Structure formats: C-alpha cells, structure tokens
Amino acid sequence: MKKWLITIGVIVVILIGGLIGAGNYFYHVAIARGDKSFVTQSTALSRKSAVYKEKYWYLHAQKKTWTIKSADGFKLVAWYIPKANAKKTVVLAHGFAGNKSLMGAWAGMYHELGYNVLVPDARAAGASQGQAIGYGWLERKDDLQWAKTVVKKTATTQIVMSGISMGAAGMTMASGEPQIPQIKAYVVDSPFTSAKAIISYQAGELYHLPAFPLVDVTSAITKLRAGYTFGEADAVKQIRQNKLPIMIIAGTKDDFVPTRMSRKLYRQANQPKKLWLVPGAGHTTAINQDYPAYKHQVASFLNQYIQ
C-alpha cells in the first residue's frame, strides 16, 4: 500500500510539473512580449488592394509622436495625425501581435471622414514598453488615458474609440469603464468575448488541445506574472455596463475570432447598438473586401452621434 501511494504521489508531482511547464510555455506564446509567428501581418503595399490609397496616405502622412505613462508606469507611444480644423478625433487600437504601423486602412478611412487620428502602440507592442500582452484588459485603461490626452493636447470635443481584433476587445472592455464626456461612440471590428474564450478556442484550433486544465494553469501563471486572469478580461461583462453607442463589425468567415463572439457581444449590449456581419469576410478583412461599403456603414452609424 505504501509503495502504491508513493507511486501515485510521484505521478501526481510529474503531472503537476508538466502542467506548470506547459503553462509557462503557453504564457510565452500568448502573453509574453515577443514574436508571434502564428499571426501573419504585413505592411506591404499592393496597388490591387481596395485600401491602397488609405495605406499609402498613412505611410507618408506627417505624424506627431506622443508619449504617456500608463497607470502602472510604462511609457506608451502613439502617432497623431491631425485633420485641418477638425474637432473630432478617433483613438484607434491595433490587434494582437500588431503595432501602429499596420493600421493604415482604418486610419485613412477615419481621416477621410474628417477625424484627427491617434494610433497608439499597445503596451508590449511596437515602441511602447511592457512585457505582457493584456488581451484588452490591461489596454482598456491605456486607451481611456489616451482619450484624456487627446482632450488635453488638442481642441477635440468629440472622440470615437475604435479598434480591431484584440484592440476591438480592449475598446469594448473600455466601454464599460467610467467615460470622459468627450467620448461619444465605439466602433469595434472582430472583437472577442473574453481572453479565456479566445485562448481556449485557439488552443483547440492551433494545438488541438482541450482548454482544461491548460488554459486555467496558464491563466494562474498570468495572474502571477502579469497581474490579471483570463476570466477578468471579459468584454461581455463590460459591454453590459456600457452606456454609449457601439457598432460591432465581423466577417462571417472569420476563423481566428469566431463570428459568434460578435453576435454574443451584440446580444449583451443594452445601449444604442449596431451589428454588421460582412458575408465572406475573414478576420478584420471586411474593410479590404468592400471598402466603400465599410466606410459607408461606419459613417452612417457615427453620423447619428458625432456632429
């Protein structure tokens, strides 16, 4: 009996050690700053692209570099591009493993619509400091701090908060926090419902692994190393608390963030809301699939709340 108990104990220790090792590995894959080779993104310009003009403009536009310090002490960096005589500004958040240089299509669209454009590098991305990706939860407060900075540094009276992918989830999470009066609306493209939901989904899609117990172990490690759990990063909870108009955009063929997540967020929203599902579009590709329609849909929504 004693030998049997020792054997069981050794097996348990090995299993726990293996889980902790696997959790640390996936922390580095999903949370720690660094190259995310499973995400393909490019700044390359193609004349065949529906948003070539917008990307070209963004590449060559004169940008002002802004910096702020986050509440937890990180230097954050953004590009600001003014629009002559504009008193409305968009704060535009990039996606997972992205940076501000990749946001030309959206920045160009908002500038064409008459907005000043502020495009930050999220914490742990681009020129900003930080070693842990927050899946929108840590970034939500940074986004709101950028909005306050816009008001301090410019004549802006109306702000739109917008983002794509993780940036969209972060903006959705930000919508549930106390707002400054200049923020008038949110536009989010391809958001996920929570860090736990999207990481569980990707564990299955990319690694063919069940969510339990690996995601929970990685979440516990993230709490110790980055200060939050995957369950805390909950866009559904936050959107229920939002009181501002919000537009949700998603492609029906999104295989990175399932379209059902956008549908769920829309159902849980209580404020003035719009869900635009783009047939055949993939993850954040709706703007490239039919740029005139995308621009029209966003403009039509915002024109109800922004003068």
**The two three-digit tokens of residue 125, written as one number:** 């991305």
Together in a domain, 214 and 281: no
Do the bridges between strand 116-120 and strand 75-81 make them parallel or antiparallel, or are there none, so unpaired?
A: antiparallel
Does 296 or 205 have the greater pLDDT score? 296
Residue 16, pLDDT score? 46
Together in a domain, 14 and 55: no
Q: The domain containing residue 15 runs over which residues?
A: 1-30+195-231
Together in a domain, 271 and 255: yes
| Cα torsion 132, 136, 138, 141: sign | positive
CATH classification of the domain holding 84 = 3.40.50.1820
Does residue 259 contact residue 252 with C-beta atoms inside 8 Å?
A: yes
For the stretch 82-123, pLDDT in tens is: 999 999 999 999 999 999 999 999 999 999 999 999 999 999
Q: Is the pTM of this model over 0.85?
A: yes
Computed over every residue of the chain, the mean pLDDT equals 91
CA 298 to chain centre: 18
Together in a domain, 277 and 176: yes
Residue 40 lies in a domain: no
**The two three-digit tokens of residue 172, written as one number:** 């959705």
Which neighbouring-strand residues pair with 116?
89
Residue type at 228 in one-letter notation: Y
For the stretch 136-148, pLDDT in tens is: 999 999 999 999 9
Do the bridges between strand 183-189 and strand 158-164 make them parallel or antiparallel, or are there none, so unpaired?
A: parallel
What value does the mean pLDDT take over residues 230-253?
97
Residue 268, pLDDT score? 97
Residue 15, pLDDT score? 43
Residue 20 lies in a domain: yes
What value does the mean pLDDT take over residues 256-260?
97
